[in-house]
């Protein structure tokens, strides 16, 4: 096993949340924007969309970085078949939280690790499914939350690592980091499959 600190590691993402999570494993990596179209295909299932985009992001960056390990990740939130993307503004965030109130939202967080250290360019993939059960929220609570945390760059319009935890009845998951955007348990497993160890 090769220690992670000795690898040329690239995170195919500009997300500060993914950067902060990966920093829990190592500080030796670079971030690069994959510049991938994230639009869903017609009738594409949310889990398939997450898997496809994670791979597309990793591949887009891997071609520019031979001899590197490249991590791509994508998260898609599914509320009763409706994809909840990043709201971008308070009106969209308000609508998303109203739709999620009292409901279960499933977060599909996909990973793709590309080993470009040799000509094979092996790919390793995983997907985490986390279910978030929202408690019933009234409009006053939604407004207070959005004013305080402004989660407009987060799928589902909340930050579970912050005040957003107060919106839930429960979280059903095998990996609490997945909900933030980068499932570290799955990533460590994929690294081991690529003969790299984080420890």
CA dist 59 and 47 (Å) reads: 19
Q: Taking Cα atoms as reference points, which of 185, 127, 133 lies closest to residue 158?
A: 133
Phi-psi region of 186 (alpha: psi -120 to 50; beta: other; left: phi over 0): alpha
CA dist 28 and 80 (Å) reads: 39
- Of 37, 74, 139, 175, which one is the catalytic site residue? 74
| Distance, CA of 199 to chain centre | 23
Helix 139-149 vs helix 90-100: crossing angle, to nearest 10: 130
CA dist 97 and 21 (Å) reads: 25
CA dist 49 and 82 (Å) reads: 13
Residue corresponding to tokens 């869903």: 40
Specify whether 74 is catalytic.
yes
Active site residues: 74
């Amino acid at each position: 096993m090769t220690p992670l600190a000795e690898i040329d590691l690239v995170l195919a993402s500009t997300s500060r949340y993914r950067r902060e999570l990966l920093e829990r494993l190592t500080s030796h990596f670079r971030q690069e924007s994959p510049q991938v179209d994230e639009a869903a295909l017609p009738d594409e299932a949310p889990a398939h969309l997450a898997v496809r985009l994670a791979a597309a992001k990793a591949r887009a960056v891997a071609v520019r970085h031979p001899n590197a390990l490249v991590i791509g990740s994508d998260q898609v939130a599914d509320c009763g078949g409706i994809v909840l993307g990043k709201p971008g503004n308070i009106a969209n965030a308000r609508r998303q939280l109203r739709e999620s109130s009292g409901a279960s939202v499933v977060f599909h967080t996909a990973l793709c690790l590309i080993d470009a250290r040799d000509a094979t360019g092996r790919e390793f993939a995983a997907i985490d499914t986390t279910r978030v059960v929202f408690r019933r929220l009234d409009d006053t609570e939604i407004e207070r939350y959005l004013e305080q945390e402004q989660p407009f760059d987060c799928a589902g319009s909340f930050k579970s690592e912050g005040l957003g935890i107060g919106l839930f009845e429960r979280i059903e998951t095998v990996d609490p980091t997945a909900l933030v955007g980068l499932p570290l348990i799955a990533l460590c497993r994929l690294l081991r499959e690529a003969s790299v160890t984080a420890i």
